[in-house]
Amino acid sequence: SRFETCWPALMKDSHGVIIIFNPELPSHLKEIEMWYSCFVQQQPLLDSQCLLVAHHKPGSAGDTENLALAYPLNKLKLIHSNLEEDPEDVRMEFIKYFKSIITLINESREREEMSIIS
């Protein structure tokens, strides 16, 4: 893609990655493997620092039960968003995700401080 030259700047010092995709597009299912590889594995970030969001467009059938992602994507936290039906659920999941990232950042900062002291 024409933005690939910007990726290193986008990735620098990032603490988390949220990948939003349309589960009804087979091309998206292939692309998220590439995004995961570039933005999570190569950084490297922990899987817990990545959140997958399958976004269902208004009026789409939205088969949320049968989205079977292949390894390694099936290890990631996956939420389904359908803002017509359940925006509150999605909001709660985002808050949980952000809290987990903040906890990770604080823990690594404490480890760094301890290593400087000792």
**pLDDT, position 63:** 58
With cut-offs at 50, 70 and 90, classify the pLDDT of residue 84.
Answer: confident
Enumerate domains of the chain plus CATH numbers: 7-117 (3.40.50)
> Which pTM was predicted?
0.83
Structure tokens belonging to residue 66? 């049968």
pLDDT at 105 over 90: yes
The 8-class DSSP code of residue 22 comes to -
Contact 36, 72 (CB under 8 A): yes
Place of tokens 């995709």: 21
Measured between alpha carbons, how far is 90 from 7 in angstroms, rounded to an integer? 27
